[in-house]
Chain A
Amino acid sequence: MSKRTDRLMRGVFIASATFVSIIIFSIILFVGKQGVQTFRDVSPAEFFFSTDWTPLENRYGALVFILGSFLLTGLALLFAVPFAVGGAIFLAKYAPSWVREILRPAVDLFVGIPSVVYGLVGLTVFVPWIGKATGTAGFGVLAAALILAIMILPTILSVSEDALRTISRSLEEGSYALGATRWQTIRLVLLPAASPGVLTGIILGMGRAIGEAMAVQMVIGNAPLLPTGPGSPTSVLTTEIVKDMPNSIFGSTVNNALFLMSLVLLLVSLVLILLIRVIASRREV
């Protein structure tokens, strides 16, 4: 009886895993199939290395958006990770339990805030600030990065904090017993031990940052130009897709190019995730 249930459940799990894989694979396949048709009209060199995106005059250079996505995600992580990990350390190891009991649910609440709300905050707070500070309109990559950083901070913090708290107390004691200070213990024992979890948090945050369209579109300025400063309007893969997709006909070159941009987005996030995993596994003993 139990053997049969066992076999049955095994079948169910394999079937659902296969099903999910098929769906994901079909999406990649579909996006890819549409995307590569771009190359019937546009050379790969132009698409990947030209910064001139003028579909009306048949110029389809996507370099601005590709670089923009990297830059924006990188900046967002740069702003978010130190605070997120610092906050996680504080909550897990320094905060008295009543502080933690208030802050922890609050952090989780922030994870659930819709991105349009963040966009609005960016629009009404960051854009004017940056505008004033740089003497521009304020729309641009800095405002977008700040907004994204705030958006992904709770995710990274929450996952990192969980990771830190699940480290066995005996490890911590082992370190203290050798005369380590609290900071040494955190830095040399707890953080390395928690690093797979922290990394998962960073990957989740990064995934959200690189794929976010709404909040970014509200503050980045949406011009297909390389940014020349913190307050210069630019565009990234997601925002350009959102902006141009509704005005394009399925099967047209612009439309195909937008699909190709989606494919690039997909591959870029995959590559980044793999990269982080590789770096992490190399650091492990």
Chain B
Amino acid sequence: MTSEKIRVQDLNLYYGDNQALHDIQLSVKKGSITAFIGPSGCGKSTLLRTLNRMNDLIDNVRITGKVYVDEQNIYDNQVDVVQLRKHVGMVFQRPNPFPMSIYDNIAYGPRIHGIKKKRDLDEIVERSLQQAALWNEVKDRLKKSALGLSGGQQQRLCIARMLAVDPDVLLMDEPTSALDPISTLKVEELTQTLKSRYTIIIVTHNMQQAARISDYTVFFLNGHLVEASETNAIFTNPKDKRTEDYITGRFG
């Protein structure tokens, strides 16, 4: 039980009258990579966003059930959402760099959490950019606007920005959908190197990617969790017919 990082229990989520998640049960192991797969609109992003309470920001969202991170129900009243989000970092489906310099983008998180010394910030910025495989491309233009980066570079910037606050859970919503094959490979390698220290959940539409990098795979359909199991098992021997149809490309 101690190796469990996240547990989702009886989770239902409604956008207004529209139920987007139905009775989700899920357990995520510490130090593992879990892939969320499923057709567009099935609720992958929605579930991911419940794990750092990002849905709190949307009007008319109603959530029932529990989500435990480190055995603490994050929907409890006394939970400090700011602290939670420091521990549970997120990369969004669309890159969203701040309209400021590359350096300031990365330093943003550490700064708001009280790191002021230039030397510390410099070090964090370099390390995070290295980790996100972006350092070599931007080291000479750190003071330039992040908006001048290409889409793929922006996405890696957002990954670096997340790593800079040193979270222990990484939620990545299709982090490589805007990347070329080489950057994709870099991000995939990154997930492998980070795995020992972090718990990673990655949403992907790319079956090969899920198979390549994840330890566990969860398949969703229309807001329902259909099947969750070890990646090997799900790809070689899916238990549910719908999972099999999806991963073999027969629908979705």
Contacts and interface: CB of A to CB of B under 8 A. Distances in A.
Contacts of A193: 98-99
A285 B86 contact: no
Contact of B145 (A174, A176, A285): A285
B108 A177 contact: no
A106 B96 CA distance: 34
Given A97-B59, A285-B143, A285-B145, A177 B54 contact: yes
Interface stretch (A130-138, A151-159, A164-172): A164-172
A184 interface: yes
A193 B100 CA distance: 9
Contacts, number: 72
Contact of B89 (A171, A177, A181): A177
B165 interface: yes
A171 B113 CA distance: 18
B187 interface: no
Contact of B113 (A179, A189, A285): A179
**Chain B contact residues: over half helix, strand or loop, or mixed?**
mixed
A140 to B, nearest CB: 43
B101 interface: yes
A188 interface: yes
B92 A177 contact: yes
B54 A189 contact: no
Contacts of B59: 97
B20 interface: no
A168 B86 contact: no
Given A173-B54, A173-B96, A174-B92, A179 B101 contact: no
Contacts of A97: 59
Contacts of A170: 92, 94, 96
B143 A177 contact: no
A178 interface: yes
Nearest to A169: B57
Contacts of A177: 52, 54, 85, 89-90, 92, 162
Interface string A190-230: 00110000000000000000000000000000000000000
Interface residues of A, number: 21
Contacts of A179: 82-86, 109, 112-113, 165
A188 B112 contact: yes
A276 B190 CA distance: 45
A172 B100 CA distance: 14
B240 to A, nearest CB: 32
B57 A285 contact: no
B104 A174 contact: no
A285 B101 contact: yes
A180 interface: yes
A170 B58 CA distance: 12
Contacts of B54: 173, 176-177
Nearest to B158: A174
B144 interface: yes
Interface in B88-135: 89-90, 92, 94, 96-101, 104, 108-109, 112-113
Interface string B44-59: 0000000010100101
A180 B108 CA distance: 9
Interface in B64-93: 82-86, 89-90, 92
A175 interface: yes
Given A174-B96, A177-B85, A180-B82, A285 B90 contact: no
A160 B99 CA distance: 18
A89 B98 CA distance: 19
Residue in A171, A176, A179 with the greatest tally of chain B CB atoms within 10 Å: A179
Contacts of B144: 285
Contacts of B143: 285
B195 interface: no
Interface of B: 52, 54, 57, 59, 82-86, 89-90, 92, 94, 96-101, 104, 108-109, 112-113, 143-145, 158, 161-162, 165
Interface of A: 97, 168-181, 184, 188-189, 192-193, 285
Which 5 pairs across A and B sit closest by C-beta, in order of nearness? A179-B86, A170-B96, A178-B109, A174-B96, A177-B90
28 contacts: A97-B59, A168-B96, A170-B92, A171-B96, A173-B96, A174-B96, A174-B97, A174-B98, A175-B98, A176-B54, A176-B57, A177-B90, A177-B162, A178-B85, A178-B86, A178-B161, A178-B162, A178-B165, A179-B85, A179-B109, A180-B82, A181-B82, A192-B99, A192-B100, A193-B99, A285-B101, A285-B104, A285-B143
